[in-house]
A and B are shown apart, each in its own frame.
Chain A
């Protein structure tokens, strides 16, 4: 098991629900990331936080709302999602966002199904 944990591991929600995904890293890293992984598509970077500050928002719809209260915790708040948002949502962390050579460590992911 990695030093990055995610809860819940599986989530089924209706389009009108509001839910949150949680990520926690125990590695002392300063950068955290949310990725979306859909079948037959590359990993899509959604958000990047570096030292709790959001540095990247790759044109993600506003129905996804990230929150980073500290360098160890990252949330993804979900509301009024669409069925096409069903995917595996992966959290990752790395020592620093600024250093291009840093490896990213991934959590186990949350398998999200939107009905």
Chain B
């Protein structure tokens, strides 16, 4: 079983809509959860991190964590074409970072 699973997509949403990206993880002991954005040909850059159950908002981005169900999601409100990228979910278990394969998002103007 993979440590971190993401739907590879592609996910397409119209400009201005809400994009919802999901991630599940296998280890109940995982402590920290990160969302990275990676543009084509570029390196990953951090968008948000979350440690506690519930929602965490930062501008147009909201991370949601449910440890009982072992999933973490990222919502992007008012999606813009510039949000088109691959979104990587990373889960920290012990001292190890485990990355998902990423979800490709395309925001259609």
Chain B residue nearest in CB terms to A40: B101
Question: What is the minimal beta-carbon distance from B86 to any residue of chain A, in angstroms?
Answer: 11
Whether A42 and B100, one on each chain, are in contact in the complex, defined by CB atoms closer than 8 angstroms, is yes
The interface residues of chain A, by DSSP majority, are classed as: loop
Answer whether residue B46 sits at the interface, using C-beta atoms and an 8 A cutoff.
yes
Within 8 A of B (CB), among A3-57: 40-43, 45, 55-56
Q: Is the CB of B49 within 8 A of A106?
A: no
The reply on A81 being an interface residue by CB < 8 A is: no
| A-side contacts of B93, CB under 8 Å | 100
| Interface size of B in residues (CB-CB distance below 8 Å) | 26
Bound Cα distance A103, B46 (Å): 8
> Contact at B43–A108, with CB atoms within 8 Å?
yes
Is A66 on the interface with B (CB-CB < 8 A)? Answer: no
Q: Is A61 an interface residue (CB 8 A)?
A: no
Most buried by B among A42, A45, A101, A106: A42
Q: Do the beta carbons of B43 and A100 come within 8 Å of each other?
A: no
CA distance A45 to B51 in the complex (A): 22
Task: Name the B residues within 8 Å of A2 (CB-CB).
Answer: 43, 45
Kindly report which residue of chain A lies nearest to residue B101, judged by CB atoms.
A42
User: Which of A's residues lie within 8 Å of B, judged by CB?
Assistant: 2, 40-43, 45, 55-56, 90, 97-98, 100-101, 103-109
